[in-house]
Amino acid sequence: MARLYSFIPGLFTIFTEKIVLNKRKIINDPVYGFISISSDLLFDLVEHPYFQRLRRIKQLGLADVVYPGALHTRFHHALGAMHLMSQTLRALQEKGHLIWGPEIEAAQIAILLHDLGHGPFSHVLESVLMPGVKHEAITLALMKDLNRQMNGRLDMAIQMFEGTYPRKFFHQMVSSQLDMDRMDYLNRDSFYTGVIEGSIGADRLIKMFDISHDQLVVEEKGLLSIENFLHARRLMYWQVYLHKTLLSAQAMLTQILRRARELSNDGRVLFATPDFSRFIVNTYSLADFENNPDLLQSFNALDDNDVWASVKGWASHEDPVLSALCKGLLDRKLFKISFFDAFPAPEILEAKSRELLESGIREEDLSYFLLTGETTNWAYEKEQDPIRVKMKTGELLDIADASDIPTIEALTKIVRKYYVCWGKNVSLRGS
């Protein structure tokens, strides 16, 4: 029996045989090159229909109306976040921190599954179809269901996800202002939109991570990297997530769903896949999900195709409001939109109303074609669990206090904007 030793500087590991992993897999990723799936359990989770569904849910919803490359999915994002998790854990181990094998797997599972509860066009659907039901709650329900199917093998991962695992820094890597989720999505969204200024230098950030007092911290010499990360985040908000044209497309989809529900409530027939129909007709609460396992399955069957197929079907619906909205979204004839620093004055809205009414829109349909909204951009939320910097002195400081760099303080200011969104040249069939 060969008795050889693996390399950990100054230590030895006892091997007795060649380890065989039948399910190892390597996935091409334009962002990181290759992503390794490093255990059989992780492989089985990736193969599970719950996770495969994420292949059909785009990370950025409608953002391709502005950035045609932004078609990446939550599937790829989740794999990318898992990759960053494994890189980060390795870096922490190389700094001498003791991290147990099962912890590594659990942390990877927790981040892999963190978005399982997202529906298609998440923010739109949550607000219209399931008000009050947060995707995090559904994620947790699905993780628990998987845990049952897998005989409790996700226990530790669920603890890390929920924040009940004793070593707190694991939860911070899954969910905090500097977690693997944010790091991957900023990186990935920047890559696929082509907004290269949003790139965050994940490689360097990862080398700067450390653990101190059971907290995920950043070494002092990583101050500039954090600053760069916060700037990149802020830039991505203005340039991508809150882009005017995207907000306009989202507003249109919101109105489409609102109208569809209304018609449905009035007993009108609407083309839709069976599972999607259920959510259009009914309004479910979180309690419904908990009491009705079948509902979770229905939710879990939804993806972007249900929404698009419906929008396509409805484009020829007899209701002129619904069909006009759908046709506009499909052909990218989007609402106009204007930003304001304060809530828009009544005169502005009145003027727009008059315009729309004159263009042939009926009084009772006005609310579908004239909308207001509010957006905020908050690069660093000081009130939340802070990003901690380990100074050379050993002291832990909030990033905003760690340095005299004036720009970090500036990033703690919330920036709020208001917008008005209205249909221009809407052609209502029949009107």
**Segment 338 to 377, residues that bind a second copy, using CB under 8 A:** 341
Q: How far is the CB of 338 from a second copy (least distance, A)?
A: 11
Q: How far is it, in rounded angstroms, from Cα 197 to Cα 204?
A: 16
Which residues from 245-274 bind a second copy, rule CB under 8 A?
Answer: 271, 273-274
Residue 374 CB: number of other CB atoms within 10 A? 10
Residue range at the interface with a second copy (CB under 8 A); choices 123-131, 156-164, 355-363, 407-415: 407-415
Closest approach of Cβ 315 to a second copy, in Å?
Answer: 8
Q: Which of 136, 182, 220, 238 binds a second copy (CB under 8 A)?
A: 238
Helix/strand/coil percentages in the chain, nearest 5: 50, 10, 35
Site track 202-231 with a second copy (rule: CB under 8 A), x = hit:
-xx--x----------------xx-xx--x
The residue range among 101-109, 261-269, 279-287, 354-362 that interacts with a second copy, by the rule CB under 8 A, is: 101-109
Of 282, 291, 297, 316, the one binding a second copy by CB under 8 A: 316
Q: Which of 166, 267, 287, 332 binds a second copy (CB under 8 A)?
A: 332
Alpha helices of 316-369 — where are they, by DSSP H? 320-330, 346-358, 366-369
Collapsing DSSP to helix, strand or coil, 420 comes out as strand
CA distances, 351 to each of 51, 281, 346, 354, 363 (Å): 48, 35, 9, 5, 14
Q: 243 or 352: whose CB is closer to a second copy?
A: 243
Q: How many Cβ atoms are within 10 Å of 371's Cβ, its own excluded?
A: 22
Stretch that binds a second copy, among 143-151, 155-163, 247-255, 328-336 (CB under 8 A): 328-336
Q: Give me the least distance between CB of 26 and a second copy, in Å please.
A: 6
Q: Does 100 bind a second copy (CB under 8 A)?
A: yes
Q: Of 12 and 164, which has the nearer Cβ to a second copy?
A: 12
Sorted by sequence, the CB contacts under 8 Å of residue 379 that are 6+ apart come out as 230, 231, 233, 234, 237, 411, 412
Binders of a second copy among residues 25 to 84 (CB under 8 A) are 26-31, 33-34, 36, 38-40, 47, 49, 52, 55-56, 64, 67-69, 71-73, 75-76, 79
Number of residues in contact with a second copy under rule CB under 8 A: 105
CA-closest candidate to residue 158, choices 140, 173, 175: 140
Nearer to a second copy, 52 or 285 (CB): 52
- 401 touches a second copy by CB under 8 A: no
* Alpha-carbon distances of 336 from 50, 128, 420, rounded to whole Å: 37, 21, 8
Q: What is the CA radius of gyration of the chain?
A: 24
The nearest distance, CB 52 to a second copy, in angstroms, is 5
Among positions 170-209, residues that touch a second copy (CB under 8 A) are 191-197, 199, 201, 203-204, 207
Establish if 2 lies at the interface with a second copy (CB under 8 A). yes
Other CB atoms within a 10 A radius of the CB of residue 316 amount to 12
CA dist., res. 73 & res. 356, Å (int): 37
Stretch 274-303: interaction string toward a second copy, x if CB under 8 A: x--------------------------x-x
The strand pair at 215-219 and 336-340 is best described as unpaired
Among 8, 281, 345, 351, which residue interacts with a second copy (rule: CB under 8 A)?
A: 8
Looking up tokens 């962002």 gives: 31
Q: Which of 181, 210, 306, 365 binds a second copy (CB under 8 A)?
A: 306
Binding residue for a second copy (CB under 8 A) from 93, 285, 367, 431?
Answer: 93
Give the DSSP H or E segment for 264.
Answer: helix 244-265
Least distance (Å) from a second copy to the CB of residue 316?
A: 7
Amino acid occupying residue 103: E
In the bound state with a second copy, the residue whose beta carbon lies nearer, of 143 and 236, is 236
- Residue 140 amino acid letter: L
Query: In Å, what is the CA distance from 363 to each residue of 344, 352, 366, 369?
Result: 21, 12, 5, 10
Residue 133 interacts with a second copy (CB under 8 A): yes or no: no
